Amino acid sequence: MKIDFLINKMSGGGAERVVSLVANYLNQQGYEVRIITFQGTDKYELNKEVKRIKLHKHPFFQSVVINGFFSLIYFYRKKSNRPDIISSHINLLGYLTIPIAKIYSLRIIVSEHINH
């Protein structure tokens, strides 16, 4: 089973730490795991088998949300790039991944990480 974790960046923070821990665990359990980011650098260590995809290498737009949305549509156009499950951990972009999942008939989990 192929699982994609979508998160804005992996440069530090609680949500990023949770994603790295869950991705490493699922990878150890035999799942094919990819982490897709839209800006920033990496802080957390990942298993070598966890694939990193940085959609911010060639941005089309200035806005992370708009760029992320269209980059995902383009990326998932290719059937071999489509996962079985998307786990989205991004505030606004997380909600915009719902129509992408609908377009490509993908299962999706949207998680909100906030701190007050």
Is the overall model pTM greater than 0.75, yes or no? yes
In a domain, 47, yes or no: yes
Query: Which has more pLDDT, 62 or 34?
Result: 34
In a domain, 94, yes or no: yes
In a domain, 116, yes or no: no
Give residue 74's domain range: 2-110
Separation CA 67–CA 65 (nearest Å) = 6
In a domain, 115, yes or no: no
Q: Give the CATH number for residue 85.
A: 3.40.50.2000
Is the model's pLDDT at 50 over the cut of 90?
Answer: yes
Is the model's pLDDT at 94 over the cut of 90?
Answer: no
Domain count for the chain: 1
